[in-house]
Amino acid sequence: MDKFTPFMKGIWLILSGVLMSGQALTAVATTMTAPQKVMLQSLNEPQAQSVARSLPIKGYKTLSGTKVLFIRTPGLPMFDVHVSFAAGSAHTPHQPGLAALTYSLLNEGVDGKDLNAILESFDQLGARLGMGITQDRANFSLRSLSDEAQRVPALALFAQMLGKPSLPEQSLPVAKSQLLHFLDTEDQSHAYQANKALQGLLSPGHGYVQSVYGTRDGLAAITHNQVQDFHRHGYAAGNAMITLVGDLTEDEAQRIGAQISSALPLGPTVATIKAPDSPASPGFLQLQRPTNQAYVRLAQPGVLRASPDYVALQMASQIFTNRLMHELRELRGLTYDVQAGLSTLQAQGIMTIELQTRPEVADGVMTKIKEMSRDFLIHGPTQEELDDTKTRLAGSAPLNSTTNTQIVGQLRDIAVNDLPLSLDFSTEKALALDLASVKNALIRHLDSEQWSTVILGPKADQQPLPAPMESAANGICRETDEIVAS
């Protein structure tokens, strides 16, 4: 298992809802017919059909202070549990690498089992462990069969790994070496370097600018005692959020939440990550690298996920992406792909535009994007553009809550961002938008003169952009109508 594989890929528009306040919420009653026994041959979920179904969310809070969300999906005899801690790399900016090192050691051993024994035990139980870490959070998942014979020991080992890991000191050098290797890999990634430079322009000196894996000097300085201390407060029950989806009764879900929560160290939620200071003026960086392509990045401060304008801005960014694709790819053949969208960190929202293009037209492409954004912010989308985006959203929404994996991702978004307790909340909000709502959101939050920009690539004499082709059908390739939402 690669514990540093990203736990979940970002979704363009997670249209979901929820987390309760500190008090336990009264669960919504629902009538369900008893499912027939299904013989499961694999933990991989089958391709589901697009069928609308009611998926009420139940919310609880354990005695130790852990928030729990649960959705019952009795179709297959398995379940997914996801545990998320506010223990990402931006929580330790003055000890870079401490969060990643602690996270990396978590499954290295428990009482009586080393890493290999842990993985072998999960394998024998037919369970699957997942791990991932970001700037904001450390995430852990377990997929298991619902049958008590497999479920009980799998959950016991999972809870022990999170709450009472051995954090073996002898594994510290190996874990540090692995993190150093990841830092070397990042140094070789032109896309990562461009994104990091852009983040530095938007939040100079903030923990978000550091690699998730820390720094070489930071890793060298971390001690075993520091790892143990970070686990005690970073992985405390009050700092955890649990989401459960699958073939479980409500009573079983509550007991699983309590079991995991009680295994964790006692403690409250850690202090939230301080929001970065916005730059006084937009920045520009030209980074020379021996690449075949120029990496063009533009960004400016956006909104947080919980903002009332988030959905409107995401709809606007999808429409603007369509415009960019038509102009830069279909009409001019300047890129294979261009994306505009909101990047939502816990303490910072960022509107970003990114693409790769030929080095000799990088300046012209950047200028063209700024011109198009200026026009878009002045006039907003057209009624036809908004209607088309809504149509695609309405058609794709049922496809985004058909598997446990998709639902877990939406519940996690709900829990972390205190969204309303409904998977359909954001979809309904998006479909209710009118042109004035979208344009007003753009005016409130974005400024065509505030784009910070990074161009990474080789030095090249700049050429004017080619004239648009007469027919978009002759473009480099065609954009799909896919829109991801739920």
The pLDDT assigned to 27 comes to 31
**pLDDT tens profile 348-383:** 999 999 999 999 999 999 999 999 999 999 999 999
CA 79, 83, 89, 90 torsion-angle sign: positive
Question: Are 241 and 325 part of one and the same domain?
Answer: no
- Residue ending a domain, among 197, 229, 263, is 263
- Residue ending a domain, among 209, 232, 263, is 263
- 34 lies in some domain: no
In the block, tokens 């928030």 appear at: 67
Q: HSE on the CB side for 465, CA within 13 Å? A: 20
Per-position b or e across 197-229, b if 16+ CB within 10 A of its CB: bbbbbbbeebbbbbbbbbbbebbeebeeeebee
CA 406, 411, 414, 415 torsion-angle sign: negative
The pLDDT assigned to 398 comes to 82
In the block, tokens 């606007």 appear at: 316
Give the β-pairing of 138-145 and 294-301: unpaired
Amino acid sitting at position 13 = L
Q: Which domain holds residue 238?
A: 58-263
Write the DSSP symbol of residue 327: I
Find the helix packing angle between 115-124 and 148-163, rounded to 10°: 160
Q: Contact 247/75 with Cβ under 8 angstroms? A: yes
| Residues in the chain, pLDDT under 70 | 1-43, 45-53, 471-486
Q: Phi/psi at 206 (nearest 5 deg)?
A: -90, 160
- 279 lies in some domain: no
Question: For the sheet containing 452-457, what is the strand order?
Answer: 284-288, 452-457, 294-301, 349-357, 338-344
**pLDDT tens profile 106-160:** 999 999 999 999 999 999 999 999 999 999 999 999 999 999 999 999 999 999 9
- 38 lies in some domain: no
Neighbour tally for 431: CB within 10 Å = 18
Specify burial of residue 246 (Cβ count, 10 A radius: 0-12, 13-18, 19+). buried
Q: Contact 414/59 with Cβ under 8 angstroms? A: no
Q: What angle do CA 423, 32, 410 make, to 5 degrees?
A: 20
Beta strands in 312-442 (DSSP E): 338-344, 349-357
Q: Phi/psi at 428 (nearest 5 deg)?
A: -60, -40
Instruction: Give the tokens for residue 182.
Output: 């990841």
Question: Are 307 and 233 part of one and the same domain?
Answer: no
Of the candidates 85, 59, 61, 82, the one whose C-alpha atom is nearest the C-alpha of residue 70 is 59
Question: Are 108 and 173 part of one and the same domain?
Answer: yes
C-alpha 147/C-alpha 77 separation (Å) is: 7
C-alpha 153/C-alpha 309 separation (Å) is: 45
- Residue ending a domain, among 234, 263, 292, is 263
How far lies 196's CA from each of 192, 347, 447, in Å? 6, 17, 22
Question: Are 209 and 311 part of one and the same domain?
Answer: no
Q: Which residues pair with 301 in a beta bridge?
A: 350
Specify burial of residue 71 (Cβ count, 10 A radius: 0-12, 13-18, 19+). buried
CATH of the domain at 244: 3.30.830.10
Three-state DSSP state, 176: helix
Neighbour tally for 232: CB within 10 Å = 13
Question: Are 199 and 65 part of one and the same domain?
Answer: yes
Q: Which residues pair with 294 in a beta bridge?
A: 357
Neighbour tally for 138: CB within 10 Å = 28
Of the candidates 75, 70, 12, 74, the one whose C-alpha atom is nearest the C-alpha of residue 47 is 75
Q: State the first-to-last Cα distance of the chain, in angstroms, to the nearest integer.
A: 29
The pLDDT assigned to 39 comes to 52
Neighbour tally for 99: CB within 10 Å = 29
Question: Are 358 and 316 part of one and the same domain?
Answer: yes
Question: Are 130 and 238 part of one and the same domain?
Answer: yes
- 295 lies in some domain: yes
Give the β-pairing of 67-72 and 240-246: parallel
Neighbour tally for 135: CB within 10 Å = 23
- 6 lies in some domain: no
Q: Contact 132/2 with Cβ under 8 angstroms? A: no
Question: Are 67 and 194 part of one and the same domain?
Answer: yes
Helices H, strands E: what count in the chain? 14, 13
- Tally of structural domains, the chain: 2
Neighbour tally for 113: CB within 10 Å = 18
Question: Are 253 and 211 part of one and the same domain?
Answer: yes
The pLDDT assigned to 33 comes to 34
CA 216, 220, 222, 227 torsion-angle sign: positive
- 48 lies in some domain: no
Question: Are 221 and 147 part of one and the same domain?
Answer: yes
- 273 lies in some domain: no
Q: Which residues pair with 67 in a beta bridge?
A: 61, 241
- 144 lies in some domain: yes
Instruction: Give the tokens for residue 323.
Output: 């415009």
Question: Are 184 and 303 part of one and the same domain?
Answer: no
Question: Are 449 and 314 part of one and the same domain?
Answer: yes
Q: Which residues pair with 284 in a beta bridge?
A: 453
Give the β-pairing of 58-61 and 113-114: unpaired
